[in-house]
Structure 1
Amino acid sequence: MSERTALVVRGGWEGHAPVEATELFLPFLRDNGYDVRIEESPEVYADADVLGAIDLVVQSVTMSKIEGPQLEGLRTAVAAGTGLVGWHGGIADSYRASSDYLQLIGGQFATHPAKEPELRAGGQEDNYLRHAIEITDLGREHPVTRGIEDFELDTEQYWVLHDDLIDVLATTTHPVRPWHPWHRPIVSPAVWTRLWGAGRIVVATPGHSVDVLRDDNVRTIIERGMLWATRTASA
């Protein structure tokens, strides 16, 4: 019998391949003793009996909508000790109309800057930039990112609005470019944790596509995040 339970909630914008992306992590969860349940919408969050028995929620739902009872159920479960983990738009760009969801997560996608105009062809690749993910001093000591060195990706670089309750494990810097209107470099969190009541939250902003999730560093961060966020004995 599995000792731990994981709920995978996926859906929303198909551009982030929520099914294929979450399927990538199912073997890891099962190999680590999780009994995995999969739901294709956040409706399950409104079921207090289900969420009360869940040790970890893995969410991949970009944009979409969440109803009041569903959001209240998720917030209540996390505060009671259920872990919450996600990547990219599946957690940092979910349920845009809900300020209470934003407060729970602590950071919200604002934009992903584009290439210079003459290189844009009208597709998603217009927003793929080579950029560095830099581990913070805290990140070098944290179980989620310990031992991971700074690394580079060629994908969307998230600009995130955030608050001071998050613990930033990695950052990325948006440089000043002639075709953009900002006047100084912007340092944005790329990986963070958040303590919410008895619960733990882990957010990784890389993960626009499955190939990015297969990157050794990104995948390691997410997998470690799942283990770290899972309900602890004290919760």
Structure 2
Amino acid sequence: MKRALIVHGGWEGHQPAEVAELLARELREEQFQVHLSDTLDSFRDKEKLADYHLIVPVWTMGKISKEQLVPLLETVESGTGIAGCHGGMGDSFRNETQYQFMVGGQWVAHPGGDGVHYDVVITEPEHPIMQGIDDFHVCSEQYYMHIDPAIRVLATTRFGEVEMPVAWTKTYGAGKVFYCSLGHQADIVAMPPVLRMMRQGMVWAAR
């Protein structure tokens, strides 16, 4: 049985505990053994981290110590997968550029705040993460992000003439990375296309 670690906390506006429970349920249905934690100290022990096939951070903003961050980075680099959504992975630890490099992007702005109506366009429908997901409409925050040109873009949205990635994969050393910018609160994560994308993305990323 594969094992996953979900670490939740940070800014409470993103409902980290509720989102963590949703993602944990999806992983359990995929026969993962899931450990939920509300402390970044869960990243300190590299030997324990190496036992996990997947790490799912749900931690917006906040600060992380080097003693917590370095084992996390090294574990993913060694082959453990990492997957997450919205600010819980794409706006964590704003001072830690190496973390952002691992993720493949970093939140910059959400023009219009919450309640923006926009379309999500699936650009790689044949990818395993996007199986069974069609283009869809969402009313939520629309993330404008700095992005790594090395990412493989799976879905996009538009800001005027700018095409902005919504979901992507990349590698960090031997580890697979999946990120989706949707998921402002638990109700958005629970939308059928978003939840399916997260489920398939987590499974894909797992070692």
* TM-score, normalised with respect to structure 2: 0.97
Tell me which residue corresponds to 1:117. Answer: none
Task: Give secondary structure in 2 for the equivalent of 1:25.
Answer: helix
Asked whether 1:159 is paired with 2:137, we answer no
List runs of 5+ in structure 1 lacking aligned partners.
115-125, 176-184
Asked whether 1:45 is paired with 2:43, we answer yes
Tell me which residue corresponds to 2:114. Answer: 127
Count of aligned pairs: 207
Amino acid at match of 1:157: Q
1:6-155 to 2 correspondences below 5 Å: 6-114=4-112, 126-136=113-123, 139-155=124-140
**CA RMSD, Structure 1 to Structure 2 (Å):** 1.1
Deviations 1:5-40 (A, max 9, x none): 100100000000000111112222222221211111
4+ long deviations beyond 6 Å: none
Deviations 1:143-166 (A, max 9, x none): 001332111100000001111111
Tell me which residue corresponds to 2:189. Answer: 213
Amino acid at match of 1:165: A
Task: Give secondary structure in 2 for the equivalent of 1:81.
Answer: coil
Name the CA distance, whole Å, in 2 between partners of 1:28 and 1:212. 15
Name the CA distance, whole Å, in 2 between partners of 1:104 and 1:91. 10
Deviations 1:69-114 (A, max 9, x none): 2211111111111110111000000000111111111100000001
Structure 1 residue 133: Cα displacement: 0.6
Structure 1 residue 171: Cα displacement: 0.6
Structure with greater Cα Rg: 1
Deviations 1:39-60 (A, max 9, x none): 1122211211110101001110
Identity of aligned residues (%): 38
Task: Give secondary structure in 1 for the equivalent of 2:35.
Answer: strand
Tell me which residue corresponds to 1:178. Answer: none
